[in-house]
Amino acid sequence: AFPYGRLSESELSERVVSVMDKLIETHAPDLVVVACNTASTLVLEDLRRRFSLPFVGTVPAIKPACAASQSRLVSVLGTEATVAREYTRALIRDFGQGCDVTLVGSRRLAVLAEEFLRGGPIDEADIAEEIMPCFRESDGSRTDTVVLACTHYPLLLEPFRKIAPWPVTFIDPAPAIARRVVD
């Protein structure tokens, strides 16, 4: 079903619940990490209602990004589906801390990351086209923090850093997710 962003919300929800049902029955886990922002922002509440075990979602790390930003210009780089979700907008309202948050929906980065993971080449022009909307300047300030709101994107962290027009902090939520699992 990859990439998930091309599925309708109902198709994705049905797919994730069905897959989780089979995985839980087969493996009897103590906890489940939903390692996808698109799926988490849509299905996490349904999974928690349906199953009795804990679920840890992967959602855009807006709160730590806004807390870390000095310029107060933050971008959230996610799939088109993740940045379009009300869940993501609610995170900005609840945890934006007065930052000017730009939502950037990428159509192709997850696919490019999958290709790179399989040993394919990096096309810097393709990556640049997807990430450049993250870099904004306003009243003498520049974006200084970019949230990686797709679990595929950290695979491209080095190319992101190379292509970025200026240094920024890229927020990879994986360490926070790992801490939540331990908790």
Active site residue ranges: 36, 150
| Identity of the amino acid at 81 | A
Q: Find, among 43, 44, 9, 36, the residue nearest to 153 by Cα.
A: 36
Alpha helices in the chain (DSSP H): 9-27, 37-50, 62-68, 80-84, 86-95, 109-117, 124-131, 157-163, 174-182
The residues, any chain, with a CB within 8 Å of residue 4's CB and separated by 6 or more, are 12, 15, 36, 38, 39, 79, 81
My answer on whether omega of the bond before 3 falls inside 30° of 0, hence cis, is yes
